[in-house]
Amino acid sequence: MQKPTEAKMSQEKTTLEVIAPTVEDAVQKGLAQLNLPQDAVDVEVLDAGSRGLFGLGSRQARIRLTIKSVPADAVYTKATAQKREARPVPAAETKPPVESRPVADAQPAAEAQPAEVEEDETLRVSREVVTELLEKMEVRAKVTAGYRPPEDESNEPVVLVNIEGNDLSILIGRRSETLNALQYISSLIICKRLDRWIPLMIDVQGYRARRERQLRQIARRMADQAIHTGRRQVLEPMPANERRLIHLELRDDPNVATESVGEEPNRKVTIYMKK
């Protein structure tokens, strides 16, 4: 049995079958091909489609548009138009000019309404993916997305997804392991949907920001100890993103240097005096 193409026309039944990612997309696509308004067709959903699980195993929607019948007295044929054009046009009667007067109760023109600004596609997809994951985890929370300036001017802005709600410590975990795992999985799905890589950070009720301030303070304190004692200072094991913060905080310090040692998941940052 031959599968339907993306769009096919049946002239006998004046129908059009369309395949698109969503039912709405398919309807708009079909109306554009028919050059008709939506009230001029009947829409039959053959397959509503499916987004799958996080975009995997998705199925496109399939619809059939049927052009509604037009009453015979409403048909305006080319021949009729030509006959009307052939009729002589009577000369217009000459009427005395009418004096124009201002209208007393004229209504003011309606003010133009500002157009709604569409949400950035990257932010929308990031927010939707994280929301879907939380729903799968049965976690109720509010998800927002925005941009955070990059730490290096040469890099692009970081997409920051913030999760707000009650008792969300389950999303953080020991040493941020759960939060980092959520961020990693979300990043994979977002990049697949956008078909490109984006820098992503997921935060839970400002935890990342508080932890970042804490790590910067630790870095400065341990750098001072390394200078005063002359001994190498070894920090506790940290995930890669936290170790990077330590390196960035001290990279311009003229007195100390940093180095990561050990193997995951026990890799650590050491701080020592420059020679």
Q: Which has the minimum average pLDDT: 50-64, 126-140, 155-169?
A: 50-64
Residues 165, 219: one domain? Answer: no
145 and 188 co-located in one domain: yes
Q: Is residue 1 part of a domain?
A: no
Both 186 and 131 in one domain: the answer is: yes
Residue type, 23: V
Q: Is residue 32 situated within a structural domain?
A: yes
Instruction: With respect to residue 237, please indicate whether it lies within any of the assigned structural domains.
Output: yes
Q: Domain holding 251: CATH number? A: 3.30.1370.50
Tens digit of pLDDT for each residue in 9-22?
444 457 888 888 88
Say if residue 118 is exposed, middle or buried (CB neighbours under 10 Å; 0-12, 13-18, 19+): exposed
How many folded domains does the chain comprise?
3
Q: Name the domain boundary from 67, 88, 110.
A: 67
Model pLDDT, residue 103: 42
Looking at the domain assignment, is residue 99 inside a domain? Answer: no
Is residue 115 a part of any domain in this protein? no
- Final residue before a domain boundary, out of 173, 205, 237: 205
The verdict on pTM exceeding 0.75 is no
Q: What is the dihedral angle through the alpha carbons of 203, 206, 210, 216, rounded to the nearest 10 degrees? A: 50
| Domain CATH for 181 | 3.30.300.20
Which tens digits make up the pLDDT trace of 102-147?
Answer: 444 444 444 444 444 456 899 999 999 999 999 999 999 999 999 9
Give the chain's mean pLDDT.
79
Query: What pLDDT does 51 receive?
Result: 65
Residues 189 and 215 in one domain: no
170 and 236 part of one domain:
no
Do 186 and 224 reside in the same domain of the chain?
no
Q: Is 130 helix (H, G, I), strand (E, B) or coil?
A: helix
Alpha-carbon distance 69 to 270, whole Å?
79
pLDDT bracket for residue 236 (50, 70, 90): very high
For 241-264, write each residue's pLDDT tens digit: 899 999 999 999 999 999 999 998
Would you say residue 158 lies in a domain?
Answer: yes
State which of 48, 67, 86 marks the end of a domain.
67
**What burial class does residue 216 get, using C-beta atoms within 10 Å of its C-beta: 0-12 exposed, 13-18 middle, 19+ buried?**
middle
Q: Does 102 reside within a domain?
A: no
Residues 15 and 47 in one domain: yes
Q: Which residue range forms the structural domain that includes residue 142?
A: 121-205
Residue 219's φ and ψ, nearest 5 degrees, are -60, -45
